[in-house]
Amino acid sequence: MSASEEILISGTSAGLGTALAKHYCALGQRVIGLSRRPATFQSDTYRHEQIDISDDEEITKLFQGFREEKESIKLMIHCAAVSHSSLALLTSGAVARNLAEINIVGSFLLLRESIKHMKRSGDGRIVCLSSMNVPTASAGSSVYNASKAALENLAHTLSNETQDTSITINCLGLSIYDEGGMAQELDKAALVEKSRHANRSISVSLEEIVHAIDFFASDMAASITNQTIYFSGVK
């Protein structure tokens, strides 16, 4: 990507989203970050938009602004998500609805508008951060697992619907990005459950994630779409 082109990253107020935004800004890339909360860092090449991606009106207005400002977004990295760990029988409907609103509806709206924006130039790259919980169906995270499965299916469906363009849409199935404190958010049982389904360490570094994203965003991957790569050697 050239320095004049921008990277759009969702979920940049904490964790992996923040780390990715800082990484690309340090390389001189122009980054637009999205989150419901205020920005947690500043950079000359960083612009923060405080927004609820599950709000149709807000997300539509945001991309309308991008078009008016002639923003050139060639890579969108979708990190925004909420998680919840508990057995299904102990999970309330309110928790389920909140996860579905952000992880499914929010993902749909963000991908819909990103594709519309990229179709104006005919090409672009979308990388969605999913979870190893999709193929493993790890116990204790039923609604979260279902929401990430929905994200992957959405990405694959939209990839089929954009086959007449040069836009690629792929997913990365993460285990644990430990540098973001994710391991501390999970109880011991959840960590044991994740480890049971992996034949490599479940802790993934920022460098590993960046390498995978950069590959999907590169010219070498121009014909690779509709795919999900899982970390940690999912069994």
pLDDT band at 134 (very low <50, low <70, confident <90, very high): very high
User: Is a pLDDT exceeding 90 seen at residue 9?
Assistant: yes
Q: What is the pLDDT of residues 13-56, one digit of tens each?
A: 999 999 999 999 999 999 999 999 999 999 999 999 999 999 99
Rounded mean pLDDT of 62-80? 96
235: in domain: no
**1 in Cβ contact with 75 (< 8 Å):** yes
11 part of a folded domain: yes
Any domain includes 60: yes
**Residue 183: predicted pLDDT:** 47
In one letter, which amino acid is 17? G
CATH of the domain at 202: 3.40.50.720
How far apart (Å, rounded) are the C-alpha atoms in residues 158 and 171?
12
Whole-angstrom distance, CA of residue 213 vs CA of residue 151: 17
List phi, psi (to 5°) of 176.
-135, 125
Q: Is the pTM of this model over 0.85?
A: yes
Q: What would the mean pLDDT of 56-77 be, rounded to a whole number?
A: 96
Q: Range of 82's domain?
A: 6-230
Q: Is residue 187 part of a domain?
A: yes
The DSSP symbol for 52 reads: -
Report how many domains make up the chain.
1
Domain-embedded: residue 141: yes
